[in-house]
Each structure stands twice: as C-alpha cells, then as structure tokens.
Amino acid sequence: MPKISERGIEMPASPIRKLVPLSDAAKARGLKVYHLNIGQPDLPTPQVGIDAIRNIDRTVLEYSPSNGYRSYREKLVHYYAKYNINVAADDIIITTGGSEAVLFAFLACLNPGDEIIVPEPAYANYMAFAVSAGAVIRTVASTIEEGFSLPHVDKFEELINERTKGIMICNPNNPTGYLYSRKEMNQIRNLVQKYDLYLFSDEVYREFIYTGSPYISAFHLAGIEENVVLIDSVSKRYSECGIRIGALITKNKELQKTITKFCQARLSPPLIGQIAAEASLDAPEDYLRDTYDEYVERRKCLIDGLNRIPGVYSPIPMGAFYTMAKLPVDDADKFCEWCLNDFEYEGQTVFMAPGSGFYTTPGLGKDQVRIAYVLNKEDLSKALIVLGKALEAYPGKTI
C-alpha cells in the first residue's frame, strides 16, 4: 500500500471536530448533545444577506475575479473605516473563509523550515496551516492564572533566530477571549519592527469586545504598515460560517501580487457567498447591537455558572465568544470522550473541545477545555447542569 505523506501524518486533527463521530453516536443513542465545542453561532444571519441569495437574478453562476468582486471590496473599505482601519479596495483580497486567508498568507510569506511565533493556547488550525506550508510554529505560553495575558516580550525574543519570519496573533483571541491591550500591541509592534517580521493578525471577532478597553488593530500600529497581514471573515459577525467568505488585507504590494497567484490557482472565491456578504454590510445597526447584547448575557450566564461548579475556574473573557476553563479532571481529552461515550444526565450530555489541542507544548492544557457560548441562555444553563453532573460522576476527577 502507498505511504501517506509526512505532511499528512504531521497534520494535527482538529480538537474542535475530532470528537464529532462520538457526538453523532451519542445522538444516535437518543441523547441530547449540547454543542459547546465549535464557534457556530445560532443567531440568525442578516435578513438582507438571506434575501440577496433568494433574489439572485442570473442565468449563469460564473467565476468571480480571483481576488473577489470589486463592488464588495469597495464596500469593505467603508466598513473598515468605521474601525479606523484605512485601506483601499486593492489592499483587500477576498478568500474562501478566514482559513484560506491564513493558509495563503503562510504559503506566500514562509519557506519550508521558516518559523512563526504564536502565543498559546491558539486557534488549532494555525498549526495545521503551518504544516501545510512546511513552516514551524514556535509558541510562547500564556497562563489561565494570569488571564491569558501576553507573555513578556523577552519570551518572544528568546525564540527569534535567523529562521523567524513572523508573529501570529488573534485579537480578540480564540480560544481564550483575551483582548490585547495597547501596551501589549505596541510591544509586538516593536518586535516586528526590530526584526523586520510579518505580523499576521486574525481580527475576525472585533465586533465582540465586552470591556471598556479599545480594540487595537494591527493596522493601528505605526511604522509596520507593510509588515501587517490582517485576516478577516464574515462567519462570526454575521452568522455566515457556511458561505465561506473571508479576507486578507495587506498594504505590501509585492505580497499582494504573490497571494494573487495562489488565488488564481484556486480560481475564485464563492460567488454566492460574496453576494450574501456584500448585502450583509447593509444590515441595520440594531442587528449587530442585538447580537452583541445577546453575547454579553450569554457570557455572564456561562462564566458565572462555570465558576460555581466545584473545582472549575474560568477567567472572564474580554472578547470573542469563547472561554478556556480549567476542570478538576486528570485528562480533559479523556473526560470529553467519556462525556460522549459513557455519560448521560436525563438523556443529555455535553460536547466540548479538549484544551490540549490548542497548545503545541506537550502537557499544557491537559486539564482545560474550550467552551463556545453560542447556545441560547436556556440551553447554556442546562449544559452547565449536565457538566456539573458529569464532573461529579467522572472516574478521573481530581477533587
């Protein structure tokens, strides 16, 4: 039998999706499964986006331009200006989701063997995209005890060598919900400037910030404009995960030309997705306001509930709609599997993402899970009850 590629063997399984077969089996047994594992919002997509799809008046569903429709990119310019992100339509490349934007950025900026530094825990697919590009992720660990604040700049500098090509951040952060401060962003800016690195900045959760602290985009940092590669997506802000529309934004003209070649190789981003995304930019202001208010309430429901369970600790996330929670268990991977395989409470169980999958350092996150608060408050409350019962019954509990 032919051998699988080394790249394929090294590719990590998604901690968010790898337990789906167990979840499907639990549902087949008749259990109600509360999905806390994945950032799939349950709130409605803007009606203007739905209507744009319903009202498509075309005789041919054609290829779109490889970098996306200009009309959409021009409307995005005005959207970003609301956040003091001043870009031109030609700085924006439309991608098949934010995931493709990260992948194309890595392919265009990194040679095999090059290294990027990422604070951990981190969105697991960053590691997968680095493997795809033949690059190496080097991590600096943040801790749950310190609320996942940015590690000291010295920790970054210890990792920088001749192979280091960039720093990757997610702000607000997935999976921790942490929001980087102006001071922390300036520290990153200074490193990028000092060592002439790329700064890959995933900012898909900018709408969801729950503190008085400001949102500092990588494009707000003076002096590194051509080093910045901003990653964006409509998936979260408009509940449009399935239309697969993202964006890669850079002022670096040479990089734009390079990424365009990868875009041409995959032909075009989704036509129908762009139609929906462009229309969604006209969603009324109360759409995002109501969505924001709902997440504020869900955050309070989840974090208060988690911290009332004996032995559980979760810091208060400042943005996005995730939290990392520390559980009183011997192994969160085993616990998450056990919840789906062997446990039920009144015909219910919970599906969470094991924390270890968001770390690359062996042993870290062993007693943590990522929880997405994308369920309504009633279901979140029920899920918390089920989680508490599961922790009482788990054979490997540590309290």
Asked whether the predicted pLDDT for residue 383 surpasses 80, the reply is yes
What percent of the chain is modeled with pLDDT above 90?
95
* Ramachandran quadrant class, 263 (left: phi over 0; alpha: psi -120 to 50; beta: rest): alpha
Asked whether the predicted pLDDT for residue 32 surpasses 90, the reply is yes
Look up the pTM and report it: 0.96
Asked whether the predicted pLDDT for residue 15 surpasses 80, the reply is no
Residue 121 burial by Cβ neighbours in a 10 Å radius (0-12, 13-18, 19+):
buried
Tokens 């056990």: give the residue: 338
For residue 238, how many C-alpha atoms fall within 13 Å in the half-sphere facing its CB? 29
Tens-digit pLDDT profile for residues 333-349 = 999 999 999 999 999 99
- Domains belonging to the chain, first-starting first, are 6-44+286-393 (3.90.1150.10), 47-280 (3.40.640.10)
**Mean pLDDT, range 176-198, rounded to an integer:** 97
3-state class (DSSP) for residue 292: helix
Per-residue confidence (pLDDT) for residue 14, from 0 to 100: 83
Question: Which residues pair with residue 116 across a beta bridge?
Answer: 137, 166
Amino acid letter, 163: R
Asked whether the predicted pLDDT for residue 51 surpasses 80, the reply is yes
Asked whether the predicted pLDDT for residue 18 surpasses 90, the reply is no
Tens-digit pLDDT profile for residues 258-310 = 999 999 999 999 999 999 999 999 999 999 999 999 999 999 999 999 999 99
Per-residue confidence (pLDDT) for residue 13, from 0 to 100: 80
Tens-digit pLDDT profile for residues 136-169 = 999 999 999 999 999 999 999 999 999 999 999 9
d(CA 305, CA 227): 42
Per-residue confidence (pLDDT) for residue 16, from 0 to 100: 74
**Mean pLDDT, range 99-110, rounded to an integer:** 98
**Mean pLDDT, range 370-375, rounded to an integer:** 96
| Mean model confidence pLDDT for the chain | 97
Cα 14 from chain centre: 12
